[in-house]
Amino acid sequence: MNPMRTYVYGRVTQPDALGVLYLALGASAIVNADDGSYSVLPEVQYKPVENRELRWLAHIQSGGAQTEFGEKQV
């Protein structure tokens, strides 16, 4: 098997989220269409002053045994 062949990728962002200026919420997702495993990356970004940025990013993976984002060793 050759890893990294059939993927679906998506990204959404909401600038000035929750009515707060300089706050942005976003999320990205990568799904392996062959085995159904996925990786989700939620993100919170705040830019209080020019040239300064605070960013929180999580990386959540899920998949069954022997899937790319599950337990399979590549």
Separation between Cα atoms, residue 6 and residue 4, nearest integer Å: 6
pTM of the model: 0.76
Say what the pLDDT of residue 11 is.
Answer: 97
Residue 70 lies in a domain: no
DSSP letter assigned to residue 6: S
Separation between Cα atoms, residue 30 and residue 52, nearest integer Å: 28
At 35 the three-state DSSP class reads: coil
Q: Range of 43's domain?
A: 7-62
Residue 35 lies in a domain: yes
Digits of tens for pLDDT over the chain (74 positions)?
A: 555 678 999 999 999 988 888 999 999 999 999 888 999 999 999 998 989 999 999 999 999 888 888 876 65
Say what the pLDDT of residue 65 is.
Answer: 85
Say what the pLDDT of residue 74 is.
Answer: 57
Residue 2 lies in a domain: no
Burial class of 44 by CB neighbour count within 10 A (0 to 12, 13 to 18, 19+): middle
Count CB atoms within 10 A of the CB of residue 24.
Answer: 17
Residue 74 lies in a domain: no
Domain count, the chain: 1
Residue 17 lies in a domain: yes
Residue 34 lies in a domain: yes
